[in-house]
């Protein structure tokens, strides 16, 4: 459990959370459209989860030799 909490404080996690907050705020206040929010949010989330999957695959390959 503590390991998961510690991982939230990694740089990419902080950037992902910050960008989500900023773009959510901009969308709610009407400064950007919902479509613009969706585009940016999709890219950010895809990058975040893509790097997580790549890291897990590398760790698995390391364990299996």
pLDDT on residue 47: 83
**8 pLDDT band (50/70/90 cuts)?**
low
pLDDT on residue 27: 86
Radius of gyration of the chain (CA): 15
Q: What is the pLDDT of residues 9-61, one digit of tens each?
A: 777 778 878 888 898 898 899 998 888 888 988 888 888 788 877 888 888 88
pLDDT at 1 over 80: no
DSSP track, the chain: -HHHHHHTTSHHHHHHHHHHHHHHHHHHTTSS-HHHHHHHHHHHHHHHHHHHHHHHHHHHHHHH-
- Cα–Cα distance measured from residue 49 to residue 65, given in angstroms and rounded to the nearest whole number: 24
Nearest C-alpha neighbor of 20 from the set 51, 50, 43, 53: 43
């Amino acid at each position: 459990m503590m390991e998961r909490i510690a991982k939230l404080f990694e740089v990419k996690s902080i950037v992902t959370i910050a960008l989500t907050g900023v773009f959510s705020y901009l969308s709610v206040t009407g400064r950007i459209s919902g479509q613009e929010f969706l585009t940016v949010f999709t890219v950010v989330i895809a990058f975040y989860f893509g790097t997580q999957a790549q890291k897990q695959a590398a760790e698995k390959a390391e364990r299996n030799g």
